[in-house]
């Protein structure tokens, strides 16, 4: 068992550290470095089919659903095709409007989640084309989908998903760019810029991992609390949801992730002296708005940890502690900003003496509806 963990204390930590490799492997041959274009030979859709897509549905459970929330923004931004995102256990029961012009993307690390598989079948029954993003070649989801984008994260053992989630983000970036190339919705030069920035991501994740002690220190501070908040806007909000889920899963600390601008519509009532708030402020366009929301919680006594990107100097003036990660394009930021949150959850769980790899009541793969 120790050997399998390659010297790490837990599978989760090992898997967090495997992310630079998972990014490289998932990009792999899908990036043509000479032209900075995306190549996806696994997608069998014809250009005509791609042009016929009128709406995209992304369906998944748990962490994979959170990857889908990022995927929605990525695909909408790159292609301007409307995207809806559903948790798989809700999808079928809301009579979703699925037609042959719908592209349904199911996301599943294991490829065996019962609700996700049922959603895939419902989509196919209604004539939609189904693309699966999965980490397991030959899984049920992979076998039944029309096209399969494999995330090459390698086996994920810890119940709390880390490298599978970030590889799913990479898969969404690649697929979004691929669609944009096929549709001509983005300039080749913009696509080349995104692709170039993606290739720098593994090194940037390594830089984050190299400062793990900073996040360990923050984790030890929050580990004595029973309640906290994550806030953010746009893609920061999607990452906040994943950060909050991760923390709940393994530390058992209750947290809520809130769209920063929505706090004042109710949840602000729960902010009291000393409560930790983790504020993500990595999205340039939304920065000023997020800062005003940080001031709202500061005024009520919150202890704010602010997450920003290198080069940004204003956040330090309004928060109690700044956590800084390397800069990248705002669209790609989730694949960096989630890493400190993974470390935060890991070290908070450790500080509380929990079984990090096997949290109570949870299973790695859920094959019942």
Two tokens, residue 14: 């090992």
Chain-centre distance of CA 75, in angstroms?
A: 14
Nearer to ligand G6P, 63 or 290 (CB): 63
Q: What whole-number distance in Å separates Cα of residue 348 and Cα of residue 243?
A: 12
Cβ 158 to ligand G6P, closest distance in Å?
Answer: 9
Nearer to ligand G6P, 175 or 305 (CB): 175
Q: What whole-number distance in Å separates Cα of residue 77 and Cα of residue 330?
A: 12
Catalytic residue at 364? Answer: yes
Nearer to ligand G6P, 159 or 212 (CB): 159
Cβ 359 to ligand G6P, closest distance in Å?
Answer: 8
Q: What whole-number distance in Å separates Cα of residue 269 and Cα of residue 361?
A: 30
Cβ atoms 118, 88 nearer than 8 A: yes
Instruction: Using CB atoms within 10 Å of the CB of residue 183, give its burial: 0 to 12 exposed, 13 to 18 middle, 19+ buried.
Output: middle
Nearer to ligand G6P, 3 or 368 (CB): 368
* Residue from 216, 298, 358, 364 carrying the catalytic annotation: 364
Q: What whole-number distance in Å separates Cα of residue 252 and Cα of residue 359?
A: 9
Give start and end residues of each alpha helix (H) in the chain.
11-17, 19-27, 47-52, 62-79, 88-91, 114-125, 140-144, 163-183, 188-199, 201-210, 212-222, 235-251, 287-298, 334-351
Cβ 23 to ligand G6P, closest distance in Å?
Answer: 18
Q: Of 58, 92, 283, 328, whose CA–CA distance to 175 is shortest?
A: 58
Chain residues in the site for ligand G6P (CB under 6 A) = 61-64, 108-110, 113, 116, 159, 161, 362-366
Cβ 88 to ligand G6P, closest distance in Å?
Answer: 8
Nearer to ligand G6P, 97 or 363 (CB): 363
Nearer to ligand G6P, 35 or 367 (CB): 367
Cβ 253 to ligand G6P, closest distance in Å?
Answer: 17
SS3 content of the chain, % helix, strand, coil (to 5): 50, 15, 35
Two tokens, residue 275: 């409560």
Cβ 288 to ligand G6P, closest distance in Å?
Answer: 34
What are residue 108's DSSP bridge partners? 134
Instruction: Using CB atoms within 10 Å of the CB of residue 273, give its burial: 0 to 12 exposed, 13 to 18 middle, 19+ buried.
Output: exposed
Q: Which residues are catalytic?
A: 364
């Amino acid at each position: 068992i120790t050997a399998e963990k390659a010297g790490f204390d837990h599978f989760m930590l090992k898997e967090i550290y495997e992310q630079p490799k998972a990014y490289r492997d998932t990009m792999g041959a899908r990036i043509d470095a000479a032209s900075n274009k995306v190549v996806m030979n696994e997608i069998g859709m014809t250009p005509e089919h791609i042009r016929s897509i009128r709406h995209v549905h992304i369906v998944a459970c748990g962490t994979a659903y959170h990857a889908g929330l990022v995927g929605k923004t990525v695909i909408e931004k790159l292609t301007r095709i409307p995207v809806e995102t559903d948790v798989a256990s809700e999808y079928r029961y809301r009579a979703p409007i699925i037609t042959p012009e719908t592209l349904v993307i199911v996301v599943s690390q294991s490829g065996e989640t019962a609700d996700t598989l049922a959603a895939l079948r419902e989509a196919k029954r209604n004539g939609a084309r189904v693309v699966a993003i999965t980490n397991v070649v030959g899984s049920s989801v992979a076998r039944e989908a029309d096209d399969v984008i494999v995330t090459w994260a390698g086996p994920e053992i810890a119940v709390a998903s880390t490298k599978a989630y970030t590889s799913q983000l990479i898969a969404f970036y690649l697929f979004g760019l691929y669609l944009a190339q096929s549709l001509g919705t983005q300039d080749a030069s913009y696509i080349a810029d995104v692709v170039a920035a993606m290739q720098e991501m593994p090194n940037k994740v390594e830089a984050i991992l190299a400062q793990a002690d900073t996040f360990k220190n923050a984790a030890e501070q929050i580990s004595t609390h029973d309640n906290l908040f994550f806030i953010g806007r746009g893609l920061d909000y999607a990452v906040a949801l994943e950060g909050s889920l991760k923390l709940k899963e393994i530390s058992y600390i209750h947290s809520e992730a809130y769209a920063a601008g929505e706090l004042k519509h109710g949840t602000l009532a729960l902010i009291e002296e000393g409560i930790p708030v983790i504020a993500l402020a990595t999205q340039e366009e939304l920065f000023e708005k997020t800062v005003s929301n940080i001031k709202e919680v500061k005024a009520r006594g919150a202890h704010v940890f602010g997450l920003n990107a290198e080069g940004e100097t204003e956040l330090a003036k309004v928060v109690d502690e700044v956590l800084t990660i390397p800069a990248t394009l705002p669209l790609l930021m989730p694949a960096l900003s989630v890493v400190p949150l993974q470390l935060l959850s890991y070290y908070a769980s450790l500080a509380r003496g929990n079984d990090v790899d096997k949290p109570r009541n949870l299973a790695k793969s859920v094959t019942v509806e």
